[in-house]
Amino acid sequence: MSPNGARAASAGVWIAEAADVLAMAPETNIGSSTPIDSAGGDIKGALGRKVRNDAVASLKSLLKHHGRNPAFAREAVIKATNLTADEALSQHVIDRIAPSLPALLQQLDGYKTTPKGYVLHLAGADIKSVHPGFFTRLLNTLIGPNIISLLFLAGLAGIGYEIFHPGVVLPGALGAVSLVTALFGFSILPVSWAGLMLLLLGVALLVIDLHVTSHGALTIAGLICLAVGSIMLFHNAPPPYHTSKPLVIGVAVTLGAIWAFAVGKAWQVRRTPVLMSPQAIAGAVGEVRRDGLVFVNGELWQARTPGGEQLKPGERVRVESLDGLVLTVKPV
């Protein structure tokens, strides 16, 4: 058990005591194995006695099987006793104390294990350190709870942008990659479905607010759903895998500012009076594009000729009149 400062508690005691050789580094401890419920509370009544007695018998069997002190099982489970490395060695709960792996191998040279009786020949053993490769480290980074939440939202945003603006390609491709990576992370960490549904609801409310008049109410509701959903998303995971609340709040505030700016601009454009009139566009010169469209004054217009002749792409034309949204043009 290492490095210095490490500990074996709860299920870690069972794992440690199952070893044929159990060694501890200095400044480590072992014990505190009282069963608790899923919420971290004590198990009361008959069920509690049943679980604790079962745990004592299980741990006592491991200790006795490996030639260690079986009395420690009751102390660790019933009283949640914890022992330092020196105390554990003196009470024969462990086999060795060593400051480093080479020192431990030196101590165990010629050691006979219990119960299998293997004699270890470890003097001068070659120690090889193996580290995760680049791809493994990258995946470990990507499946962090904060990264997964951001990738999921970025994936939805990219795909949504591609749906409303087909042909751009890049946002859709990046969004698909982000979404698939986020789904991979969801398969690794325990996900709260309520949190995931709140995220989807938040995105839906933001999109709906672009098309209805809610005076920002839907945007606020959507941001609240995104924030609460992000916090709940990995609530079932151990504490190290919970989403960072300051990050969630910061992202929600940033999205709110961007969304307010975008919605404000959209409504400003909608309320802007039409500046184009038949008199203003008459006489303008443009260029014919594909499918009978004409590019005039930075805009694409449907166009036709007075006699119904077919317009040729690349041809220069002059606007004669405007009928609704269709221009009447003549070749220059």
Beta bridge partners of 107: none
pLDDT at residue 276, rounded to an integer: 56
H or E element that contains 102? helix 101-107
Confidence of residue 75 (pLDDT cuts 50, 70, 90): very high
Confidence of residue 19 (pLDDT cuts 50, 70, 90): very high
Whether domain 7-107 has CATH 3.90.226.10: yes
Helix, strand, coil: what percent of the chain each, to 5? 50, 15, 35
pLDDT of 148-189, one tens digit each? 888 988 898 888 888 877 777 888 899 999 999 898 888 888
Highest-scoring range by mean pLDDT, 108-117, 138-147, 200-209, 257-266: 108-117
Whether domain 278-331 has CATH 3.40.50.970: no
Range name among 54-63, 265-274, 288-297 with the lowest pLDDT average:
265-274
CA atoms within 13 A on the CB side of 77: 22
Query: Would you give the end-to-end CA distance of the chain in angstroms?
Result: 88
pLDDT higher than threshold 70 for residue 277: no
Global pTM reads: 0.53
Nearest to 149 by CA among 248, 215, 297: 248
Q: Is 96 exposed, middle or buried (0-12, 13-18, 19+ CB in 10 A)?
A: middle
pLDDT at residue 279, rounded to an integer: 65
Task: In whole angstroms, give the CA distance from residue 4 to residue 100.
Answer: 9
- CA 30: distance to chain centroid? 33
Q: Is the dihedral of CA 145, 147, 150, 154 positive or negative?
A: negative
Do strands 299-304 and 293-296 pair parallel, antiparallel, or not at all (unpaired)? antiparallel
CA angle (191, 196, 201) in 5-degree steps: 175
| Numbered ranges of CATH 2.40.50.140 in the chain | 278-331
pLDDT higher than threshold 80 for residue 262: no
pLDDT higher than threshold 90 for residue 20: yes
Report the mean per-residue pLDDT for the chain.
88
Beta bridge partners of 83: 30
| Numbered ranges of CATH 3.90.226.10 in the chain | 7-107
